[in-house]
Structure 1
Amino acid sequence: MASISTTSAFVTTNDGNKLHYREAGNGPVLVLVPGWSQTAAQFQKQIDRFSADHRVIALDSRGHGESSKPAYGYRISRLAADLHDLLVGLDLHDVTLLGHSMGCSVIWSYWDLYAGERVARLILVDQPAVLVTSPFWEEGVGADLSAIFAPAQTYEIAAGLSGSTGAEVSAGLLSTMWTDKMTEDDKAWIIERNLELPRALSAQLLIDHAFADWRDVLPRITVPTLVIGGTVSLFPAAGIEWVASQIPGAQLRIFSGDELGSHFAFWENSDLFNDVVAEFLSSAASV
């Protein structure tokens, strides 16, 4: 099936930068918020499906894709403010926000800053509440939360991204995010999209993202929420299950290995992923 044609446009943030987004369809608004170093283009399979009955808007976060690439602002709180600028600039209300990976952190920061303003429901895809372990935690806490990085390791990754091997480090990280079913062409295309965010800026954002702790935000979410994870993701399913357990009334869907439940399940098994999202959107709309 041919991809749906999208309209490409920009909104201006309150600090004067251009945020790029892709848009298609009409109806209830579904805003797609990508992960760290990912782009709006990577949501094309969701745009193709949901633009039939939704107004779908896929965002390029600051520095990513076709958005402005200023030398500042690479922190989750600024990306959340940018998301707010998008919703306000387009006068969007009763929005469903779908965040993948770091996109969930952007959504949690948005909720923390704006108390869910303009948001009707959430879809949170494969993001633990904490990524970096703390030396002060009791034994087992990190495993329960799927906090898979040690502090020193995180800084080492950021140093690698900032240096001459940035592209290779990026490719290595991405290789942990999909199954062996991913085609070589798709891998190359995804890596190319990632590199649209300058590597030194990606390192700045990674540090801010990785060390954030959103556990106190989750119980304050008051809209219908779907949480999605996978058994073969780089993030063990336990941490995704924990996120769902902390959000009042949240639904949980863990994709199995046979269902290609990787970090990129939305790409590798888009038909099933889209079916799960569609069912949630239908049930949430009737509440």
Structure 2
Amino acid sequence: MCEMLQVAANDGAVLRYVCKGSKGPPVVLIHGWSASHRSFDLNLDVLSQRCVVYAPDLRFHGESDKPAWGFHVARLAADLHALLGAWELDAPTIVGTSLGCAIIWSYVELYGCSGIGKCVFVDQAPSQWRLPDWTLGSKGIYDAQSLENIQAALRGGMATFADGNAQCCLTKPVPEALLQTLSAETQKCDPEQLAKLMADHAPKDWRPLLPRLSCPC
């Protein structure tokens, strides 16, 4: 495991991250809701052979602070702005997975694409909600009722939720040790904080923003 470093956000919350690799272009990995930088355990070793890789724990996740405020995608985008400012990277490639994609979209809405080299979006529809003109939303959280269902699951016990959540987030088999790590990382989160953050994230429709992505994606 890599040593965790830290940056303070503009509201004082401490954001922790790992950095691996000594040469090559910078790559930033943004994990999804209820996860941590450990989601990229199988990626860090490979990528760091050719890149300098930064992988933060989002606010409310992993080893980063879990304050009693800030349950908004825009707050996490401001955290990303603080991290990028501290790192002073040259045209990084930013990879978002799930909620990480929405954080990048919010970042672009607030700060533009200046300073970003490229973006990669993994496993996130620009609108999770199923709408009259949109049928490509999330398979799991796609309307108010399904949002309430996952919030109830969170409150029903984090251990059970975490085990099921880890399985749902995978499309290919992974080592049992990694599966246990993913579950353990989810259990570091507070269920009420996750519920509030998902309530902000899930209904957002980022489709109008996509034409503003001026960097290669």
TM-score where L is the length of structure 2 = 0.91
Q: Residues of 1 paired with 2:189 and 2:151: CA distance?
A: 14
In our comparison, the structure showing a higher alpha carbon Rg is: 1
Shift of 1:192: 0.8
Please state if 1:202 is matched with 2:190. no
Q: 1:51 to 1:90 in 2, by over 3 A?
A: same
Deviation of the 1:155 alpha carbon: 1.7
Q: In 2, distance between residues paired with 1:174 and 1:31?
A: 22
Per-residue CA deviations over 1:222-281 (Å, capped at 9, x if unaligned) read: 1111xxxxxxxxxxxxxxxxxxxxxxxxxxxxxxxxxxxxxxxxxxxxxxxxxxxxxxxx
Cα distance, 1:183 vs structure 2: 4.3
Q: Which residue of 143, 146, 150 maps to 2:137? A: 146
Identity %: 34
Secondary structure at the counterpart of residue 206 of structure 1: helix
1:1-287 equivalences under 5 Å are 6-26=2-22, 27-134=24-131, 137-138=132-133, 141-142=134-135, 145-148=136-139, 149-161=142-154, 163-179=155-171, 181-225=173-217
Q: How far apart, in 2, do the equivalents of 1:42 and 1:106 lie?
A: 17
Deviation of the 1:76 alpha carbon: 0.6
Structure with more contact order per residue of length (Cα contacts < 8 Å, sep ≥ 6): 2
CA 1:119 to 1:165, structure 2 compared with 1: closer, same or farther past 3 Å? Answer: same
Q: Where do 5+ consecutive residues of structure 2 fail to align?
A: none
CA RMSD of aligned residues (A): 1.7
Compute the TM-score of the two structures, normalised by the length of structure 1. Answer: 0.70
Structure 1 residue 28: Cα displacement: 1.6
For structure 1, the 5+ residue unaligned runs are 226-287
- Matched position secondary structure for 2:147: helix
Preserved CA contact (<8 Å) 1:97 1:119: yes
Q: Check 1:88–1:178 CA distance in 2 against 1; reply closer, same or farther (3 A cut).
A: same
Range moving further from structure 2, 93-102 or 77-86: 93-102
Structure 2: distance between partners of 1:31 and 1:181: 25
Q: Kindly indicate whether the alpha-carbon contact (under 8 Å) linking 1:133 and 1:151 is maintained by their aligned counterparts in 2.
A: no
Provide the C-alpha distance between the structure 2 equivalents of 1:86 and 1:57, rounded to a whole number of angstroms. Answer: 10
Aligned position for 1:281: none
Q: Is the 8 A contact 2:143 2:203 kept in 1?
A: no
1:129-160 Cα deviation digits (max 9, x unpaired): 111224xx15xx22xx2343222121221133
Q: Which amino acid aligns with 1:80?
A: A
Equivalent pairs counted in the alignment come to 214
